[in-house]
A = this chain, B = another copy of it.
Amino acid sequence: MTSHTAPADATADTADGPSPVLAAASRAREAAAALAPLPRATKDAALLAVADALLARTEEIVDANAEDVARAREAGTAESVVDRLTLTPERVRAIASDVRDVAALPDPVGEVVRGSTLPNGIDLRQVRVPLGVVGIIYEARPNVTVDAAALCLKSGNAVLLRGSSSAYASNTALVRVVRDAVEQAGLPADAVQLVPGESRDAVRELMRARGLVDVLIPRGGASLIRTVVEESTVPVIETGTGNCHVYVDSRADLDMAVDILINSKAHRVSVCNAAETLLVHKDIADAFLPRALEALAEAGVTVHADAHVLTFAGSSKATVLPAVEADWETEYLSYDIAAAVVDSLDDAVAHIRRWSSGHTEAIVTTSQAAARRFTQLVDSTTVTVNASTRFTDGGQFGFGAEIGISTQKLHARGPMGLPELTSTKYIVTGDGHTR
Binding site for B on A (CB under 8 A): 1-5, 9, 33, 36-37, 116, 118-119, 122, 124, 126, 129, 131-132, 210, 214-215, 222, 229-230, 233, 235-237, 241, 243, 253, 255-256, 259-260, 263, 267, 329, 331, 353-358, 371, 375-377, 379-388, 390-392, 396-398, 408-411, 413-415, 423-435
Contact B434 A263 (CB under 8 A): yes
Find chain B residues with CB under 8 A from A241 CB: 2
Find chain B residues with CB under 8 A from A253 CB: 432
Contact B431 A424 (CB under 8 A): no
Pick the contact of A37 from B256, B376, B415 — CB < 8 Å?
B376
Contact B4 A387 (CB under 8 A): no
A127 to chain B, nearest CB (A): 9
Pick the contact of A36 from B379, B380, B391 — CB < 8 Å?
B379
Cβ-closest 3 pairs across A and B = A387-B430, A263-B434, A409-B423
With A353-B33, A410-B215, A411-B411 already in contact, the answer to whether A387 and B260 are too (CB < 8 A) is no
Contact B385 A429 (CB under 8 A): yes
Pick the contact of A426 from B356, B377, B414, B427 — CB < 8 Å?
B414
Find chain B residues with CB under 8 A from A131 CB: 409-410
Find chain B residues with CB under 8 A from A379 CB: 4, 33, 36, 129, 132, 425
- CA gap between A9 and B230 in the complex, in Å: 9
A272 to chain B, nearest CB (A): 11
A329 to chain B, nearest CB (A): 5
A114 to chain B, nearest CB (A): 9
Contact A386 B329 (CB under 8 A): no
Question: Could you list some 11 contacts between A and B, CB below 8 A?
Answer: A2-B243, A4-B356, A36-B376, A118-B397, A122-B391, A132-B409, A235-B409, A386-B432, A396-B435, A409-B423, A413-B423
Contact A426 B387 (CB under 8 A): no
A374 to chain B, nearest CB (A): 10
Pick the contact of A356 from B2, B371, B384, B396 — CB < 8 Å?
B2
- CA gap between A220 and B413 in the complex, in Å: 28
Name A406's closest neighbour in chain B (CB-CB): B423
With A241-B2, A357-B2, A358-B4 already in contact, the answer to whether A375 and B409 are too (CB < 8 A) is no
Contact B243 A391 (CB under 8 A): no
- Supplied contacts A33-B353, A131-B409, 7 more A-B pairs, CB within 8 Å: A1-B329, A2-B222, A4-B353, A260-B434, A387-B433, A387-B434, A396-B435
Contact A214 B386 (CB under 8 A): no
Contact B329 A3 (CB under 8 A): yes
A398 to chain B, nearest CB (A): 6
Which of A2, A129, A132, A237 has the most CB atoms of chain B within a 10 A radius of its CB?
A2
